[in-house]
Structure 1
Amino acid sequence: MAAARFHGVDLDIRDYAAEPGEASPSPASLARWLTSQGVVAKGMRLRWRYLIRLQNTPPIVLMFKDGSAGLMVGANPEKGIVWLRDPMGGEGDTPVPVDELRLSQVWTGDVLLVRRRLNESEADARFDLLWFAKMALREKKLLRDIAFASMVLSVLQIFPALIVMQVLDRVVNYHSMATLISLTSFVIILTFYEILLSYARRELSLILSTRLDSRISLHAFNRLLALPLEFYEREQTGQVLGRFMAVFRVRDFLTGQLMSTMLDLFTLVVVLPILFILSATLAWMTIAAAGCIGLIVVLFLPILTRTMGRQVKAEMNRNSTLYETVAGIRTVKTLALEPTRREEWDEKTADVVRWKLASGRMSNWPQTLVMPFDAFINRGVILVGAYLVLTNASDMQAGALAGFMMLGGRVAAPLVGLAKLLEAVNEVTVSLGEAGAVLNQPTETKALTTGMRPQIKGALSFMDVNFSYPGSSTKALNGVSFEIPPGTMLGLVGRSGSGKSTVTRLLQGVSRSYTGYLRLDGVDLREINLTHLRRSFGVVLQDNFLFRGTVMQNITAGRPGLTIDDAIRAARLAGAEEFIERMPAGYDTFIEEGSTNISGGQRQRLAIARAVISDPKLMILDEATSALDPESEALVNANLQRIGKGRTMVIVSHRLSSLVDCHQIAVMDKGKLVDIAPHHVLLERCEIYRTLWLQQNRHMNSSGPSEAAGQLSEGE
């Protein structure tokens, strides 16, 4: 943290989660965490003679054998000492001089280099072909070795043709056994080196492909996680998934067809001059035929792009229907919607088949038109060559013709492959556009990795806050102003659409395009690091999602490093301990997908335990009890006073009976704050609150003052 603070980046060690099985943080895991927090970090192993030379550098983290670390802030090669400072101490602490002998007793040899991200990195750049190219060029050493192996293999491929020429022209014509033995020995040696180099190139290509595959997958998924919640709320989930998966078609193209074609081009560079030496006429014919193939592909490229683009969109629409059906299968079954969903699936499938057929027919035309040129390269050239030999139109002999045919096939294959590569680029361009429609959306990366990290106490202040949802002409919040001190239990009530949940969205940083001032402990909410803000909150929604995994894993989902004791404490606070202990495996009980093996009340209490485990100073409960049965709701409400002790709580609820103990209750109506006061005060002076209270408690004789009941009956 001290090294990052030197570069102007403030970090919270509580955000760090150790890798499984790590007794102490490793340079690799620390580097990954720091990179995710907006700085550039790299772990490496250094020797003393290199460490001592690092003068006038930013602070360097040295990893110690006991799991701790030191901060190297200077070095003096002449005196043979480095200056260390305690990273947990203050910046004004005096550094301690340490020599090689003393340092070797505690230092593991590992260092962590940290610097600020100065320019746009791969994680922030647009997803396009240039991004993929830059990523591939990072593997310079592998690319160099693959290029060298390919060049040598291309040179070696010349010799079989030359050997055939010698066999036909010298061995067969002159019956030379000595020449045959010499050529046989040469072929054996040549074959050995060719096999060895081919294996090495395949191994290097495999390593390069897997590295690119992993890096592309990691960056794409990280970009997906960095997209704001507003994007997912307005986009269809099936469409998002379909477009995201398109990035893997681009990956397959880069690590497959493109790489193999580029490697084959080395053969073209080496072998083509030999062809012109053997026969310039046949060489020009081969190139002309391959050029015609490329021209045909280029001419058909625009119309193929349009047709294939519509096919991809049709497939994504069908995938969306599939996703919605599977995700909502409970509703489909309970309402007997199978015929409706089947009809929609049939329509989407028909659309896919229609465009797939159109795309296949369109691509069939260039494939048919290139066949004569392809046949000429493979069969026609030998006929022309034979004619040239018979008519003595050139100095070519039978052996040279056989050698040309062997080399000509190797030259034609890369040229034809290059032409067909253009056709594949068409599909990749469409896939890249679809992936970019998701991955190039504005992200929360800057808000997640930069900003202040103040200590949260829970004081909230709204000052003339206005907010409208994208595409809406009405304000969801209209001049909302109120202020509450830390430790306040605030209830939010109002009719549907009054702006209650919008207030909680702004508090969580889901939407930041509001006007006015929203402050947390006196700090503007937009100036606070978004990750720090959200981890400082505990949020419980009406319908909480539990992941597949154990009860323990779900409770500690936000803090993987916490122990079973922390989980038990949180479960006890949420009133979940009693039913967890009755489960077959207790905290190790596995929760199925969709939480089908636990009740709604149990799911809500597990969600509350997950929210309170990090001891947040501010909690938000947005309709957290509206879906519960009366018994479960009563149990959760009974725990609210205990949960809210020492922390600010914002509770959104339609059921006013669960808010009567709140210190303050804010009444919302059409985006405006109508009134804010305790329950008994609102009953006296706020007509909207009094009306809502009487509507919910009309079955009780003592539900409210008779005067209020009279007013209600008059209003009705």
Structure 2
Amino acid sequence: MNDTQRDPGANSATGHGAANLDMAALMDAEINVSPLVQARLAAVMNVARYHGVELNPENLRLQTDDAAPSPLVLLDWLKDAGLWARGVPMTFRQLMRIDDAAPIVLLLDDGGAALVTGRDPENQVLLLRDPRGRASDPAMPVDELRLKQVWSGATLLVRTAREGNDEEQAFNFTMLGRLVWSDRALLRDIGIASITITILSIIPIFMVMRVIGTVIQYHSWNTLALVTVLIILSTGFEMILTFGRKLLEVMIATKLDARLNLRIFDRLVSLPIEFFEREQAGVLTYKVQQIYQVREFLTGRLMNTFIDVFMVVLLLPILFYMSAPMAWTVLIAASLIAVIIGIFLRPLGIMTGKLIAAESAKGSVLVETIYGIRTVKALALEPARAADWDRKVATSANLGMEMGQLANWPATLVMPLQRYSQYGVMIFGAYIAMNSNNPLDIGALTGYMLLGSRVAGPLVSLATVMQDVQKAQAAIWQVGSILNRPNEKRALTHGLRPRFEGAVEFDDVTFSYEGSKTPALDKMSFKIPAGTMLGLVGRSGSGKSTVTRLLQGINRDYSGAIKIDGTDMREINLRHLRKSFGMVLQDNFLFRGSVKDNIIAGRPGLSFEDAVQAARLAGAEEFIERMPQGYDTFIQEGSPNLSGGQKQRLAIARAVISDPKVLILDEATSALDPESEALVNANLLRIAQGRTMVIVSHRLSSLIDCDLIMVLDRGRTMDIGTHHELVERCAIYRHLWLQQNRHLDPQGKTHAAAPKPTLA
């Protein structure tokens, strides 16, 4: 039984009264828990109902009946229902400042809970309600002193999920810019520190001008001492500010890195399964890793460029004041540098794209070899894989060499202009000094040279940063080519969350895989009631696995309608659907971790007893108990310490632990030995109690006990009935049965004579 989405507009009529829930729902759920636990559950259910969502207490598996559910468990419960929820520490004054009619959950120190339903600013009190009370009960005013005695600040904030959130924005420079700008307070502090550092770095230059122009000429020891003190002070302040600015830069880079990692992972896992089935894992990994180049550019080179821009803006007027001709030559040199680099930008961009593609192909070979190392070792494929790796490395190295040679040209061509900006301007200044009516003194000329070098460097940096922009754009394109694809984000976060019983209906469903001209399912229609044990049989390519894919919502671009308990599956929240369905594949993946962790992977809040019960139901308990550490036995990557049958039974245990209303077994017993298969088949009847089961199997003997068996051929439903009915009337089923069971007659009894060959 699962959460049901209600019409949010239903709250408008009830107002604050919607935040009050009697204990009927908890009593109906038959959950025997302590009063404090009841208070927490009722508080969360009150707030969810206020926002139009009805929570089902049966979905919440508590560790014990007396222990209060942790904030994390409550948050997961709310998020699974499609609500936005956060657990935050708050103070009394912060609660008083909130201007929102929605109730707020306070998690009390004794394990109970209270609801904030109003505020009285004049008397400085909060209006609290007992979530277990009746709607007619008046709210209790509580001041700060009384509240502190029972509450330490643990608070749950809940609201409806926002439409069109930031996660759905296209992954590009604009989105990254917004991420960086979200830390504008840090950027402001970095800017202030940079401006101050720039000013402090200029002071010594003017001091040197004064030393050369006045101190040496007039032997002014007092002026020299003052200049020394000022230089020491400015240097000290510059050191402190530089250290602080570097810390701020590290902070903003770390925060940006964390946000990018979270957003990238969120988008990756929201991509449809069919995308990962088409793409190579190595290529995907390499392309996604390009985001770190962009992060380095945004928080490193680009930030330093803005600092350089300010330095140029500050110093250029001073240079023009001191000598306009010399300042113009510096600007002209920087402009020529920009032109030279601009000419090479497009060729460098093309070469960067080729290099990234070559590196992606190389990474794909490495990942594929590691992932398939068992096959590589078993078939002695090391030389073949090494040869493929050598070819990819050679291609990448050649492109890297070409890239380096191409990038070397602009670096070499701009070198004379850079040297002029640094040193040649002094020669030009000396020429002006000797041929001008108002010659520069030696101090001014030296100061100009020092200031000119501080301007020339940023100008050259501004010109060369365009090359880094090109690389960052290429990296953004690579990451965006994956993350900007159509995903399941909306389907995973929106839609109905009905309580499932398990009735399944296909109504004229037609579906074709991408690039295929023949439909995998062709106008398929069937209907089974809740609690049915349905077997799917047919020749290879008949559409059995396609039916299970559509039931899981993996492929949604079909025509016709698929209904669960009368609700169109396209209207159901996809995460809610998959969490309510159990799935066991032919080849199941187990994560690194203990046996217990793998069994409760989908429900990490469940207890050890739940894991044992699920393992017993799947027939896995007997081999788990023989392991060295039992349920704490560590499973390595790839599960080398488990047999195929053991992996399969653990996968079945992982599927049934969430008590799904629909359980799909897609060739789930194909990897089992006869003894294990017999054990699992014996448990299937127990597993099927209270739920709908869809079993795909080539072994017809494992489907005899099914309530109904559906025969598929070329994507169509050929017949549906019990085993005995199909043997009598369905030629396809009878042919498959006789092929697999020649020693039995069609009714399942042993022949007296040896079987004779039968032509297909």
TM-score range, shorter chain: over 0.9
State whether residues 580 and 586 of structure 1, in contact with CA within 8 Å, keep that contact through their aligned partners in structure 2: yes
State whether residues 744 and 750 of structure 2, in contact with CA within 8 Å, keep that contact through their aligned partners in structure 1: no
SS at match of 1:626: coil
2:332 corresponding residue in structure 1: 288
Does residue 322 of the first structure (1) align with residue 366 of the second (2)?
yes
**Cα distance in 2 between the residues matched to 1:15 and 1:271:** 67
State whether residues 41 and 114 of structure 1, in contact with CA within 8 Å, keep that contact through their aligned partners in structure 2: yes
**Cα distance in 1 between the residues matched to 2:516 and 2:394:** 36
Size of the alignment, in residue pairs?
710
Going from structure 1 to structure 2, the CA distance change for 1:16 and 1:249 (only over 3 Å counts) comes to farther
Does residue 158 of the first structure (1) align with residue 235 of the second (2)?
no
1:571 corresponding residue in structure 2: 615
1:304-346 Cα shifts (integer Å, max 9, x gaps): 1111111111111111122112211221222222333233223
SS at match of 2:527: strand
| Among candidates 735, 748, 758, match of residue 691 of structure 1 | 735
| Among candidates 291, 311, 314, match of residue 270 of structure 1 | 314
Q: Which amino acid aligns with 2:658?
A: S
SS at match of 1:597: coil
SS at match of 2:537: strand
Q: Which amino acid aligns with 1:331?
A: T
2:139 corresponding residue in structure 1: 96
Does residue 231 of the first structure (1) align with residue 278 of the second (2)?
no
| Among candidates 544, 558, 561, match of residue 514 of structure 1 | 558
State whether residues 506 and 524 of structure 2, in contact with CA within 8 Å, keep that contact through their aligned partners in structure 1: yes
CA apart distance, 1:652: 0.3
Deviates further, 254-263 or 548-557? 254-263
Q: Which amino acid aligns with 2:178?
A: K
- Sequence identity, in percent? 51
**Cα distance in 2 between the residues matched to 1:421 and 1:352:** 25
Going from structure 1 to structure 2, the CA distance change for 1:714 and 1:630 (only over 3 Å counts) comes to closer
SS at match of 2:499: coil
1:625 corresponding residue in structure 2: 669
**Cα distance in 2 between the residues matched to 1:176 and 1:14:** 89
Normalising by structure 1, report the TM-score.
0.93
CA apart distance, 1:292: 1.1
State whether residues 55 and 76 of structure 1, in contact with CA within 8 Å, keep that contact through their aligned partners in structure 2: no
Does residue 496 of the first structure (1) align with residue 570 of the second (2)?
no
CA apart distance, 1:374: 0.7
SS at match of 2:119: strand
**Cα distance in 1 between the residues matched to 2:583 and 2:126:** 47
1:142 corresponding residue in structure 2: 186
Going from structure 1 to structure 2, the CA distance change for 1:388 and 1:507 (only over 3 Å counts) comes to same
CA apart distance, 1:575: 1.1
State whether residues 9 and 450 of structure 1, in contact with CA within 8 Å, keep that contact through their aligned partners in structure 2: no
| Among candidates 525, 549, 574, match of residue 530 of structure 1 | 574
Q: Which amino acid aligns with 1:311?
A: L
1:662-712 Cα shifts (integer Å, max 9, x gaps): 1110111100011111111111011100000000011346776999x9x99
Does residue 589 of the first structure (1) align with residue 633 of the second (2)?
yes
**Cα distance in 2 between the residues matched to 1:30 and 1:389:** 79
CA apart distance, 1:172: 1.0
CA apart distance, 1:79: 5.6
State whether residues 55 and 74 of structure 1, in contact with CA within 8 Å, keep that contact through their aligned partners in structure 2: no
State whether residues 691 and 712 of structure 1, in contact with CA within 8 Å, keep that contact through their aligned partners in structure 2: no
State whether residues 727 and 747 of structure 2, in contact with CA within 8 Å, keep that contact through their aligned partners in structure 1: no
Does residue 64 of the first structure (1) align with residue 108 of the second (2)?
yes
Deviates further, 125-134 or 80-89? 80-89
State whether residues 457 and 617 of structure 1, in contact with CA within 8 Å, keep that contact through their aligned partners in structure 2: yes
2:525 corresponding residue in structure 1: 481
Q: Flag structure 1 segments of 5+ consecutive residues without an equivalent.
A: none
State whether residues 504 and 528 of structure 2, in contact with CA within 8 Å, keep that contact through their aligned partners in structure 1: yes
**Cα distance in 1 between the residues matched to 2:475 and 2:461:** 21
CA apart distance, 1:392: 3.5
**Cα distance in 1 between the residues matched to 2:575 and 2:653:** 20
2:224 corresponding residue in structure 1: 180
Going from structure 1 to structure 2, the CA distance change for 1:121 and 1:16 (only over 3 Å counts) comes to farther
**Cα distance in 1 between the residues matched to 2:600 and 2:300:** 41
Deviates further, 81-90 or 416-425? 81-90
What is the correspondence of 1:333-372 to structure 2 with a 5 Å cutoff?
Answer: 333-372=377-416
Going from structure 1 to structure 2, the CA distance change for 1:703 and 1:36 (only over 3 Å counts) comes to closer
CA apart distance, 1:86: 5.5
Going from structure 1 to structure 2, the CA distance change for 1:468 and 1:336 (only over 3 Å counts) comes to same
**Cα distance in 1 between the residues matched to 2:80 and 2:225:** 64
| Among candidates 620, 631, 635, match of residue 679 of structure 2 | 635
1:448 corresponding residue in structure 2: 492
Q: Which amino acid aligns with 2:177?
A: A
CA apart distance, 1:37: 7.4
**Cα distance in 2 between the residues matched to 1:270 and 1:145:** 19
**Cα distance in 1 between the residues matched to 2:79 and 2:182:** 17
CA apart distance, 1:82: 3.7
Q: Which amino acid aligns with 2:621?
A: E
| Among candidates 288, 295, 318, match of residue 244 of structure 1 | 288
Does residue 401 of the first structure (1) align with residue 448 of the second (2)?
no
Q: Which amino acid aligns with 1:315?
A: E
Going from structure 1 to structure 2, the CA distance change for 1:9 and 1:248 (only over 3 Å counts) comes to farther
SS at match of 1:507: helix
Going from structure 1 to structure 2, the CA distance change for 1:23 and 1:292 (only over 3 Å counts) comes to farther
2:658 corresponding residue in structure 1: 614
Q: Flag structure 2 segments of 5+ consecutive residues without an equivalent.
A: 1-43
| Among candidates 563, 567, 589, match of residue 545 of structure 1 | 589
1:133 corresponding residue in structure 2: 177
1:624-668 Cα shifts (integer Å, max 9, x gaps): 111222222222212212221222111100000000011110111
What RMSD, in angstroms, separates the aligned Cα atoms of the two structures? 2.8
Deviates further, 630-639 or 96-105? 96-105
State whether residues 190 and 245 of structure 2, in contact with CA within 8 Å, keep that contact through their aligned partners in structure 1: yes
| Among candidates 715, 720, 724, match of residue 676 of structure 1 | 720
1:558 corresponding residue in structure 2: 602
**Cα distance in 2 between the residues matched to 1:705 and 1:551:** 40
SS at match of 2:606: coil
State whether residues 532 and 707 of structure 2, in contact with CA within 8 Å, keep that contact through their aligned partners in structure 1: yes
1:587-621 Cα shifts (integer Å, max 9, x gaps): 11111111001111111111111111111121111
**Cα distance in 1 between the residues matched to 2:325 and 2:95:** 64
| Among candidates 417, 420, 437, match of residue 481 of structure 2 | 437
Deviates further, 115-124 or 441-450? 115-124
State whether residues 211 and 224 of structure 2, in contact with CA within 8 Å, keep that contact through their aligned partners in structure 1: yes
Q: Which amino acid aligns with 2:311?
A: T
Going from structure 1 to structure 2, the CA distance change for 1:304 and 1:33 (only over 3 Å counts) comes to farther
SS at match of 1:157: helix
State whether residues 17 and 560 of structure 1, in contact with CA within 8 Å, keep that contact through their aligned partners in structure 2: no
| Among candidates 388, 407, 414, match of residue 458 of structure 2 | 414
**Cα distance in 1 between the residues matched to 2:340 and 2:534:** 71
Q: Which amino acid aligns with 1:284?
A: W
1:121-176 Cα shifts (integer Å, max 9, x gaps): 33111110000000000001101111111111111111011000111111111111
CA apart distance, 1:273: 2.0
Q: Which amino acid aligns with 2:141?
A: V
1:539-562 Cα shifts (integer Å, max 9, x gaps): 111000011111111111111111
State whether residues 171 and 180 of structure 1, in contact with CA within 8 Å, keep that contact through their aligned partners in structure 2: yes
Q: Which amino acid aligns with 2:552?
A: Q
**Cα distance in 1 between the residues matched to 2:56 and 2:252:** 35
| Among candidates 708, 711, 714, match of residue 667 of structure 1 | 711
Q: Which amino acid aligns with 2:700?
A: L
State whether residues 542 and 713 of structure 2, in contact with CA within 8 Å, keep that contact through their aligned partners in structure 1: yes
CA apart distance, 1:255: 1.8
State whether residues 65 and 108 of structure 1, in contact with CA within 8 Å, keep that contact through their aligned partners in structure 2: yes
CA apart distance, 1:112: 3.9
**Cα distance in 2 between the residues matched to 1:250 and 1:167:** 45
Q: Which amino acid aligns with 2:586?
A: Q
2:693 corresponding residue in structure 1: 649
CA apart distance, 1:518: 1.3
Going from structure 1 to structure 2, the CA distance change for 1:436 and 1:55 (only over 3 Å counts) comes to closer
